[in-house]
Amino acid sequence: MPTTLIRGGTVVSATGRVAADVLVDGETVAAVLAPGSTLLGHDLAASVDRVLDATGRYVVPGGVDAHTHMELPFGGTAASDTFETGTRAAAWGGTTTIIDFAVQRAGERVQDGLAAWHAKAAGRCAVDYAFHQIIGGVDDDSLKAMATLVDEGITSYKLFMAYPGVFYADDAQILRAMQQAAELGLLTMMHAENGPAIDVLAAQLVEQGRTGPYFHGVARAWQLEEEATHRAIMLADVTRAPLYVVHVSAKQAVQQLAWARDAGRNVFGETCPQYLYLSLEEQLGAPGFEGAKWVCSTPLRARAEGHQEHMWRALRTNDVQMVSTDHCPFCFKGQKELGVDDFRAIPNGIGSVEHRMDLMYQGVVTGEITLERWVEITSTTPARMFGLYGRKGVVAPGADADLVVYDPAGHTSIGVGATHHMNMDHSAWEGVEVDGHVDLVMSRGEVLVDADGYHGRPGHGRYLRRDLSQYLV
């Protein structure tokens, strides 16, 4: 592979920014140099195979999206992005690593679920990828199988307090899994909603004729997220297992995380762009069945109650540590329409893997977060949390040359068509304007996206065997 010099830019890390040139040798970063550095008295640019001009732009580590669901079977259908289409879209948006979820259901072997996900992804990904493991059936066999995950490069697993009959784990099962995780050093990821109570409320709403998408958010009340978050924290405390709560949407759930962290508990949380920008009133409450485009779980929350404002604050104070997407896209036609007469049948999920970096940069523009915090929550912390830091999440010698050149003077209009590459017939972000633009994306030294378009290919992405979390030690 060629040597590359990215010169004239400002390298941004989680801890600061500096004018610097970046030298790439093959797949890795060879050096971060003072601007205009020479080699044996000669212009360094004359000694490399190619020079990329980043003048006036930021050079940042490629994004790490730690929560995606490519090809996930759900609600009688499956997520519309394959590993090929989803990772291509990720590359367009400056995300160079995804961590997806291999699935085991009750009655299935964990090893078989993992093998199925390897088969889906192998040879198809445009960017590097890793896996978490969903344990959808906690029993003696799956608990034993958890001991094999670290050897497979999987150091985190996910449980669900929601979706009875699908993925749901009761408190006894959660306790047993956390005990095993604590012994093994695995990170427990938790979907924290009180599923049985949600099912009762949802059934009552449908019986009353309240079947539209808006009532998806009503049934999944914030109290049921707060309660489950607190319960997960206490079970983790009993077992001394580290806990990571996924897709936090309610400010009251954030308050539970903040309380636990202030008490010294080993608890972390993520949120997603939809919980920072979108709302129950404006999106789920759209006329007719349009709100189905924004049905996801946890649900969008009421803007009038201040959830979005509180979530931005939590990112500033580190009560929430990172932003992932929970990318689980479904087309409106033929998929979301499965629930046209009953919101319970609407497949849950929003597509955002292409837009996370841009959407979070807009938070820099509006003053919600700093430039350094943007890099931290979209790349550095996910890499640290999930055992990838050093290879990913940083622009430093020896790191993979996963680099994004981002133009703060550029502009991105999000919508269906030329600016939308996910395998969906709509966009949850259509019409959003971002004051910034991804100009160049490099993955392990290969340019995937530049001004001439997309140059990536299926099979470039490699499976990443993850270490035990560097964030927890």
Could you tell me which residue, 47 or 13, shows the higher pLDDT?
13
What is the Cα–Cα distance from 269 to 254, expressed in whole angstroms?
Answer: 8
How far apart (Å, rounded) are the C-alpha atoms in residues 407 and 54? 9
442 and 321, same domain (yes or no) = no
| Distance, C-alpha 202 to centroid of its chain | 28
Please check whether residue 462 lies inside any domain of the structure: no
Q: Which two tokens stand for residue 21?
A: 């040139």
**Using an 8 Å Cβ cutoff, are 29 and 398 in contact?**
yes
**Inside any domain, residue 78:** yes
Task: Supply the DSSP symbol for 229.
Answer: H
For residues 359 and 210, membership in a common domain is answered with: yes
Whether 221 and 236 share a structural domain: yes
Residues spanned by the domain of 48: 3-60+395-411+421-454
Diameter over CA atoms, the chain: 80
Lowest mean pLDDT among 35-39, 62-66, 84-88, 444-448: 35-39
CA distance 22 to 209: 60
CATH number at residue 9: 2.30.40.10
Contact 225, 251 (CB under 8 A): no
- Is a pLDDT exceeding 70 seen at residue 270? yes
The per-residue pLDDT for 417 is 64
Rounded Cα–Cα distance for residues 80 and 294 (Å):
15
Residue 470 above 80 pLDDT? no
**Do residues 37 and 157 both lie within one domain?**
no
Helix (H) or strand (E) holding 134: strand 128-136
Cβ neighbours of residue 311 closer than 8 Å, sequence gap 6 or more: 248, 249, 251, 254, 271, 275, 276, 320
Whether residues 30 and 83 share a domain: the answer is no
Q: Say yes or no: 120 and 221 in one domain.
A: yes
Helical residues (DSSP H) of 146-194, grouped into ranges:
171-184
Residues 338 and 405 in one domain: no
Report yes or no on 141 lying in a domain: yes
* pLDDT of residue 311 exceeding 80: yes
- Give the model confidence (pLDDT) of 13-40 as tens digits: 999 999 999 999 999 999 999 998 877 6
For residue 418, the model assigns a pLDDT of 60
pLDDT at 471: 72
- pTM here is 0.96
pLDDT at 88: 98
pLDDT-derived band at 42, boundaries 50, 70, 90: confident
Percent of the chain with pLDDT over 70: 99
Question: So what's the pLDDT on residue 473?
Answer: 53
Listed residue (74, 65, 5, 164) closest to 348, CA to CA: 74
Cis, peptide link before residue 298, omega less than 30° from 0: yes
Per the domain annotation, does 331 fall within a domain? yes
416 part of a folded domain: no
Residue 467 lies in a domain: no
Residue whose tokens read 């990112």: 315
Number of compact structural domains in the chain: 2
Q: Same domain for 126 and 192?
A: yes
Q: Do residues 388 and 322 lie in contact, with contact meaning Cβ atoms separated by under 8 Å?
A: no
pLDDT at 468: 85
pLDDT digits (tens, 9 = 90+) for 105-156: 999 999 999 999 999 999 999 999 999 999 999 999 999 999 999 999 999 9
Same domain? 98 vs 24: no
Please answer whether residues 257 and 245 qualify as being in contact, where contact means their C-beta atoms are separated by less than 8 angstroms: yes
Please state at what angle helix 222-239 crosses helix 251-262, rounded to 10 degrees.
Answer: 20
* Dihedral sign, Cα of residue 423, residue 428, residue 433, residue 438: negative
pLDDT tens digits, residue range 96-112? 999 999 999 999 999 99
Residue 469: pLDDT above 90? no
CA distance 29 to 402: 9
Q: Does residue 52 sit in helix, strand or coil?
A: strand
Amino acid at 110: V
Task: Answer yes or no: do 48 and 115 share one domain.
Answer: no
Residue 73 sits at φ, ψ, to 5 deg, of -70, 130
271 strand-pairing partners: 323
pLDDT at residue 1 tops 90: no
- Best CA proximity match to 260, nearest among 170, 321, 313, 181: 321
Q: How far apart are CA 170 and CA 231, in angstroms?
A: 11
Measure the CA–CA gap between 186 and 181, rounded to whole angstroms: 5
Q: Are 400 and 337 found together in one domain?
A: no
pLDDT tens digits, 175-203: 999 999 999 999 999 999 999 999 999 99
In a domain, 459, yes or no: no
CA distances (Å), 61 to each of 30, 164, 201, 459, in order?
14, 39, 44, 21
- Which residues neighbour 342 within 8 Å (Cβ) at sequence distance 6 or greater? 206, 211
Confirm whether 471 is domain-assigned.
no
Nearest to 404 by CA among 381, 374, 428: 374
Query: What are the structure tokens assigned to 401, written together?
Result: 């040359």
CATH number at residue 227: 3.20.20.140
The whole-number pLDDT of residue 40 equals 65
Q: Are residues 313 and 362 in the same domain?
A: yes
| Side-chain-facing half-sphere of 369: CA atoms under 13 Å | 29
Q: What is the per-residue pLDDT across 340-393, written as a single tens digit (0 to 9) for each?
A: 999 999 999 999 999 999 999 999 999 999 999 999 999 999 999 999 999 999
